[in-house]
Chains A and B, each alone.
Chain A
């Protein structure tokens, strides 16, 4: 099951690593992890460099800024970016989620308009799904898109999204009709963020990246801003979710924290480390199984749920174990001059709770596997 890479792919990984190991890149990454509280980095020079090489969205067609490569090369880039500590939300939201959705389901006009900027690392996007009363049960969302001439007016409140301050536009889910099945009648829109009628308020949280509360007060959007079909947003989501839920981001994070832990753990931790290491290896295998499925054009929802659950729980376990094994040293923030491993343990600990919530919580993955794989009654 260990992923088998072609010599070209191995060579490509080395090239990516070489770039990410350059002193300037490492300095930029370290700096981005030490931004003053309340500020946070958006796209970095390293994103633009990867973008210029056509690597950032390497699996997109060349005319949209990619290199026409496969999902395997894309996964190699993602895995190495995270292993090297590049803050990844800005990239995963823009390229892996929103850009990927446009690449898969967008019109030619939408692709031309949005993809090249994303692929070059010059623009980014965010995701407006969750609402104050709507989290796991996305089907019950309340944001409305009401017909207005040849377009719509969007009204509602979106929360717990990230990176609005750096994003140029957003993928927003809104209700276009109501019916007996609540997830029918949801439409996805590509909406401008910094426009009259949109109010963005920061919602501070324990991680390095703030949330936002976004109020859409009747902003006007055109028909051409619908992604996929009207009332059929669920189709788009189902198509895109397997790309989001490979678990590769989490397995790479777990690897990164574990590598630092191995370096700093006190004597007597060997047995514990070995067990964690085994879990992390399994996490990576599950993630690459999903990539292989996608590569073969056969996404598997049960594999995705398994990978999402296992990898995120493992990454969380490693972060909590670091506190136990290293003691107070693990708590030092990257901004403390004496922080070990550039503060990776503190950052990982504060990020950990979100891993098992975002992109489908652990409980939702368990529910899916219990009912769909095991056939237990719902």
Chain B
């Protein structure tokens, strides 16, 4: 199934997907509406191809990272594990983490950094001993988009006596962490490929900059580290070591994208270059899930 989804992302769609949730700043180009349309189309495509029931969710997550997909799919997978009996259909769900006070029927909570809050159909409010599924769009819910490095779709969401559809126990973060780590492996690989491509073509001092071992060895080292990280996330025991793996891969994704920027020189900072996009997305995605306590 992952292969079909990979084909779906090939070709003309790829550059649109990479920026499907990147809000332009003062520089013109696509509007928010164009990007929202792309997101809706990608959601239809993914769910139509069975992404919600893919039995290789880790492989899927890596693929999503490699195309820099941004949307509620990974959150939705976690929510579906949490509420296996809820009738969610193909509806997108956002995880909303934060402390809450709940009665039996309603919930009051403030949650920050909730993804795609303005376009999901449900929220899974998590973080305590119990998790609550609530319907989006209820008047008791307010959202405000964060201004942040990733320029993505992250929101503060306030729930005030919001009706709860279903309760469940606490989230089991392990599978979610493994998928997030896999997403970051995909992202790191894509950023690395971008850097390698540039190192082969950019010329200074009469030759490709990648002919200098200072750069080529650095790229080779990162390529080996990504290779190792990929084995970690696909390992049979991955869930047992999820927190450690995610911490390692998060660090790797930041390191790779810092180097992707360095190798691109000033050109990588340009808004129209993907280097800075990988750099900003790696920062946002590397701290996307709540850190384990302790």
**Chain A residues engaging chain B, CB cutoff 8 angstroms:** 36-39, 130, 133, 135-137, 140, 159-160, 202-207, 211, 316, 320, 323-324, 327-328, 330-333, 335-336, 338-339, 346, 349-350, 352-354, 356-358, 361-363, 366-367
Contacts and interface: CB of A to CB of B under 8 A. Distances in A.
Contacts of A349: 149, 283
Contacts of A130: 266
B176 interface: no
Given A204-B26, A205-B276, A331 B149 contact: yes
A310 to B, nearest CB: 15
B280 interface: yes
Contact of B148 (A135, A202, A346, A367): A346
23 contacts: A133-B203, A135-B266, A136-B205, A160-B266, A204-B26, A204-B270, A204-B272, A206-B269, A211-B266, A211-B270, A323-B287, A324-B251, A328-B112, A330-B287, A331-B283, A333-B148, A333-B149, A338-B112, A339-B147, A353-B279, A356-B262, A363-B262, A367-B214
B291 A362 contact: no
Contact of A331 (B148, B214, B262, B266): B148
Contacts of B286: 323-324
B27 interface: yes
Given A136-B205, A205-B271, A357-B266, A350 B26 contact: no
Given A206-B271, A324-B251, A363-B212, A332 B148 contact: yes
Contacts of A367: 214
Given A327-B287, A331-B284, A207 B269 contact: yes
Nearest to A354: B269
Interface string B16-27: 000000000111
B252 to A, nearest CB: 12
Contacts of A354: 266, 269
B258 to A, nearest CB: 6
Contacts of A363: 212, 214-215, 262
B99 to A, nearest CB: 15
Contacts of A361: 262, 265
B143 to A, nearest CB: 14
Given A135-B265, A135-B266, A350 B149 contact: yes
A136 B265 contact: yes
Nearest to A349: B149
A319 B206 CA distance: 34
Given A332-B147, A353-B279, A357-B262, A205 B287 contact: no
Interface residues of B, number: 41
B204 interface: yes
Contacts, number: 119
Nearest to B112: A328
Contact of A204 (B25, B206, B214, B284): B25
A328 B279 contact: no
B25 A37 contact: yes
B261 A37 contact: no
Contacts of A335: 147
A38 B25 contact: yes
Contact of A324 (B25, B204, B254): B254
Contact of B27 (A204, A350, A362): A204
Contacts of A333: 147-149
A366 B266 contact: no
Which has the most chain A C-beta neighbours within 10 Å: B154, B261, B291?
Answer: B261
A332 B150 CA distance: 9
Contacts of B279: 206, 353
Contacts of B205: 136-137, 140
A367 B262 CA distance: 15
Interface in B246-294: 250-251, 254, 258, 261-262, 265-266, 268-272, 276, 279-280, 283-284, 286-288, 291
B27 A38 contact: yes
B113 interface: yes
B53 to A, nearest CB: 30
A338 B112 CA distance: 10
Contacts of B288: 328
B113 A328 contact: yes
Find the residue from A130, A332, A353, A366 having the highest chain B CB count within 10 A: A353
Given A204-B270, A205-B271, A346-B149, A136 B254 contact: no
Contact of A336 (B27, B146, B204, B212): B146
B283 A39 contact: no
A328 B270 contact: no
A208 to B, nearest CB: 10
B156 interface: yes
